[in-house]
Amino acid sequence: MNAVVGIVGGGQLARMTALAATRLGLKTAIFAPEPLAPAFEAAQVVFRAEYDDSTILQRFAKRCDVVTCEFENIPLETLRSIEQQTPLYPSSRAFSCAQNRVAEKSFFARCEIATSEWRAISSNQDLDLALDALGTSALLKSNRGGYDGKGQFLLKDARQAEQAWQSLVGKQAGRKEEQGRQKQEQVGQESAIAVLEKCLDLQSEFSIIAARSSNGEVAFFPATENFHADGILRESRIPAAIETKLLTRAQEWTRRILEALDIIGLLAVEFFVTRDGQLLANEMAPRPHNSGHWTIDAAMTSQFEQLLRAILGWQLGSTSACKQARMINLIGEAWRDYPKYLSMPDASLHLYAKRETRKGRKMGHVTFRSFT
Ligand code: ADP
Ligand code: MG
């Protein structure tokens, strides 16, 4: 034992994975560029370097028995260079699909998984055509790099669509400059700057988190109902108040994705249920997911432990859960109210020790559970 699990990315997901690993007698090595990444203090080994620092990357990969990632927006080149030395689970292929909305939605279509109507946007002309086809009741989302509603614009009219587009074009230009001489695979669908997506009248949102191990075993956590405001997850609940028929279909789709991408590790898929009862896939993440944080306190196996089991080739754990659980995110300044949760008998408090409190930043979460 005493295997070293490498994690690329140093945020709260890496931190909670490292904590789960420590409990199991494993060591974790974190690779992240931030000087004070929240995961560093929970890990045994720290590699602080930029994602394109090939010397440190090689050292990191050599130190690890297996590597995983805590978020999908890691340059593919970084992932591929790790993969050449050490097993990376899920593979760079899964991440290449999940870090690009056009690739992801095209992949869903190939798997016969329904999504909202969308168009890839690479130019002003594409935008005009897409607005004609889908209407202005739509969202313009950056093709890459978006999370927590960042890089998204809920459109009102064509003029505002143009402004939103210009802002995304500006950001893309900035990012390219930043990447400097780094080789970029800007071919075909990957060159789209944004997607235009029809705005849906949502009844509810839920997510399915599943693990798949190297022998093909798949385990599903109970579906989680999710409540967002301003594009950020505020609250997750089990059991999800969703029709069983839709949950079964969502599980089938999740399994399809796991198998098609040969994912070893975790996969979270976000789903929409529209007011007229349609099930649509929104997006996926081949990693632990915010909507699965309740599993730490209210499931037999947490999503973080399950990830470790899957990538180490261990037997997957039971996903049995409490009768009810509810997780709220502590966003921005809200974390400073943490003492109030300490006196609540059903509350488990988690703080991520981020050095800087920013508006819209996830600083911690609280899980409330009930066994009856
Ligand atoms: P992110 O990568 O930031 O999580 P998402 O595409 O998941 O981006 O969007 C964040 C949230 O915005 C969703 O969970 C949902 O609440 C809302 N949203 C996104 N797309 C649509 C849509 N087409 N119609 C209605 N609401 C949407
Ligand atoms: Mg999302």
CATH (domain of 162): 3.30.1490.20
Mean pLDDT across the chain: 93
Pair (172, 272) in one structural domain: no
Pair (264, 131) in one structural domain: no
CATH (domain of 30): 3.40.50.20
Lowest mean pLDDT segment, chosen from 123-127, 305-309, 365-369: 123-127
Pair (223, 355) in one structural domain: yes
- Which residues contact residue 117 at a Cβ distance below 8 angstroms, ignoring those fewer than 6 apart? 134, 197, 198
Q: What is the residue range of 306's domain?
A: 202-370
d(CA 23, CA 254): 29
Pair (192, 273) in one structural domain: no
Among 13, 232, 282, 331, name the best residue to mutate to test ligand 1's pocket (greatest count of ligand atoms within 8 A of Cβ).
282
Write down which residue in 198, 218, 238 finishes a domain. 198
CATH (domain of 215): 3.30.470.20
Neighbour-count burial for 151-168, b at 16+ CB within 10 Å, e otherwise: bbbebeeeeebeebbeeb
Q: Residue 118 pLDDT more than 60? A: yes
Ligand 1 centroid – CA 360 distance (Å): 15
Pair (145, 125) in one structural domain: yes
Write down which residue in 144, 179, 198 finishes a domain. 198
Pair (213, 299) in one structural domain: yes
The string of pLDDT tens digits covering residues 236-255 is 999 999 999 999 999 999 99
Pair (194, 263) in one structural domain: no
Pair (33, 51) in one structural domain: yes
Domain assignment present for residue 101? The answer is no
> To the nearest 10°, the Cα dihedral for 96, 102, 103, 107?
140
The string of pLDDT tens digits covering residues 217-238 is 999 999 999 999 999 999 999 9
Pair (215, 190) in one structural domain: no
Pair (183, 206) in one structural domain: no
d(CA 293, CA 311): 19
- Tell the residue number behind the tokens 């050599």, with chain if given: 62
Q: Give residue 1's pLDDT.
A: 64
Query: How remote is the C-alpha of 217 from its chain's centroid?
Result: 22
Q: Give residue 190's pLDDT.
A: 57
Pair (213, 149) in one structural domain: no
Lowest mean pLDDT segment, chosen from 43-57, 95-109, 167-181, 232-246: 167-181
Give the residues surrounding ligand 1 with Cβ less than 6 Å away: 116, 139, 146-149, 197-200, 202, 205, 228, 231, 270, 282-283
Domain assignment present for residue 261? The answer is yes
Question: Which pair of tokens denotes residue 196?
Answer: 């235009």
Domain assignment present for residue 51? The answer is yes
State the pTM of this model.
0.95
Domain assignment present for residue 315? The answer is yes
Among 105, 152, 226, 291, name the best residue to mutate to test ligand 1's pocket (greatest count of ligand atoms within 8 A of Cβ).
152
Domain assignment present for residue 103? The answer is no
- Tell the residue number behind the tokens 């950020």, with chain if given: 232
Domain assignment present for residue 364? The answer is yes
Q: Specify the number of domains making up the chain.
A: 3
Pair (167, 258) in one structural domain: no
Q: Residue 87 pLDDT more than 80? A: yes
